[in-house]
Amino acid sequence: MSREIGIDLGTANVLIHLKGRGIVVNEPAVVAVDINTNEIVAYGQEAYDMIGRTPDSINVIHPLEGGVISDYDLAEAMLILFMRRIQNNSLFSRPVILICAPSQINDIEKQSLIETAERASGGIVYVEEETKVAALGAGGNIMAPKGTMVIDIGGGTSDIAVISQGEIVNSNSLRQAGDYFNQAIVEFVKEKYHLLIGDKTAEQVKIAISSAVLQPEEDLSYYDVNGLDLVTRLPKAVKLNSNDMAMALAEPLEAVAQATESVLKKVRPELLADIVESGILLTGGGALIDQLDEYLSGRLEISVIKVDQPMNSVAIGTGLMLELIQSGEFEKSKPSRWQLFKRRLQQFKRRLMG
């Protein structure tokens, strides 16, 4: 059985791709911790279902924020638990791992990702930019001598990149992404309806009826939400509609459009011509916002294409990227023994210093 494992360790979700089997894990990147014993009592979907419903003795935590690790130990523990689901020591003695990172990640954050994956798997670990992998998973020919552009809107970051011959030529990354969208919805509902809802409720509304553009009344979708009336301090129900979502998301979606424009302005004319011809790939969970592709196409005056499996593009791409690496088509050097020793030493120092 293959030992090639691709990991999309996202702010919102963890997806793991196993060669020959496809995506074998797709669950929220959440852990529930007993604060008295410091033990993980649930992770993934089970922990996500606990949000807002736990006693004071249990904290539900996202170990990643903004696309990078915010709690090193919990991220490692969570990944180990997910890996145990798919690994059998007799079959996976030393797997080859590809883990994705935002394009603007710094060296320290990248090192944290590598160490987390190494300790969770015991394998050889590669790190690759998420936009590059997303474009590959979405069907883009990133190895060709032509421009491929992708907008990947995840939970923690929106990453934008132009890729040619396997390398990122121009890129941008911003925090206006899924989690930011949820908070924008919370603030909008608070201001318009004087109703307090949680981030989890905001996410459910976003998934159900979000829209990037205002729609005629006959085309509106509706969603009932329950929250706390900020005037009476009593429970209250409100019916939201897709135009509420368009207004709530107007500012962050404009930020994504502006960030994309800033990348386009730096692109060489030849690559820009390729992008105009083939369009911009739209991936990530944010791509599921209704009519976002149409909004961005009109705003940028370039065709923006929502891919077939936007939430799975990165995970699918990890499998394809590992094939390129293993075949030698995509050159990626393995870490030397000295580099591995330095990583272990840095890891030991980090843990010793807390």
The amino acid at 339: Q
In a domain, 44, yes or no: yes
- Considering 92-106, 258-272, 313-327, 338-352, the range whose residues carry the highest mean pLDDT is 258-272
For 202, the domain range is: 178-248
Ordered strands of the 13-18 beta sheet: 22-28, 13-18, 4-9, 96-101, 124-129
Domains held by the chain: number: 3
Q: List, for residues 37-83, the tens digit of each pLDDT value.
A: 999 999 999 999 999 889 999 999 999 887 778 888 898 899 889 98
Ranges 73-87, 92-106, 115-129, 306-320: which has the least confidence: 92-106
Q: Do 336 and 260 share a domain, yes or no?
A: no
In a domain, 90, yes or no: yes
In a domain, 113, yes or no: yes
Q: Do 49 and 125 share a domain, yes or no?
A: yes
- The three-state secondary structure class of 336 is coil
In a domain, 140, yes or no: no
Q: Do 212 and 66 share a domain, yes or no?
A: no
Determine which helix (DSSP H) or strand (DSSP E) holds 110, and give its type and residue range. helix 107-121
CATH at 237: 3.90.640.10
- The three-state secondary structure class of 266 is coil
Q: Do 207 and 127 share a domain, yes or no?
A: no
- The three-state secondary structure class of 329 is coil
Q: Do 165 and 200 share a domain, yes or no?
A: no
What does the pLDDT average to over 263-285? 96
Q: Is the pLDDT of residue 333 over 50?
A: no
What does the pLDDT average to over 275-298? 97
Q: Do 164 and 264 share a domain, yes or no?
A: yes
Q: List, for residues 134-154, the tens digit of each pLDDT value.
A: 999 999 999 999 999 999 999
Ranges 102-111, 182-191, 238-247, 332-341: which has the least confidence: 332-341
Cα dist from 80 to 17, 49, 221, 307, whole Å: 15, 20, 40, 31
CATH at 277: 3.30.420.40
Last residue of a domain, one of 248, 268, 286: 248
Q: Do 11 and 104 share a domain, yes or no?
A: yes
Q: Is the pLDDT of residue 283 over 70?
A: yes
Q: Which residue has the tokens 């702010």?
A: 11
Phi, psi of 270 (to 5 degrees): -65, -45
Q: Helical H runs in the chain?
A: 45-48, 72-86, 107-121, 130-137, 178-193, 199-209, 242-248, 250-264, 269-278, 292-300, 313-327, 337-353
In a domain, 142, yes or no: no
Q: Do 114 and 200 share a domain, yes or no?
A: no
User: How far apart are the C-alpha atoms of 240 and 276, rounded to whole Å?
Assistant: 37
User: How far apart are the C-alpha atoms of 176 and 206, rounded to whole Å?
Assistant: 14
In a domain, 258, yes or no: yes
Last residue of a domain, one of 224, 248, 272: 248
Q: What is the CA radius of gyration of the chain?
A: 21
Residue 69 has which token pair? 């690790």
Yes or no: say if 255 and 147 are a contact pair by the CB < 8 Å rule: no
What does the pLDDT average to over 315-320? 93
In a domain, 31, yes or no: yes
Q: Do 182 and 322 share a domain, yes or no?
A: no
Q: Do 165 and 300 share a domain, yes or no?
A: yes
Provide the pLDDT for residue 253: 98
The amino acid at 159: D
Q: List, for residues 188-202, the tens digit of each pLDDT value.
A: 999 999 999 999 999
In a domain, 139, yes or no: no
Q: Do 262 and 320 share a domain, yes or no?
A: no
Q: Do 71 and 21 share a domain, yes or no?
A: yes
Phi, psi of 241 (to 5 degrees): -130, 170
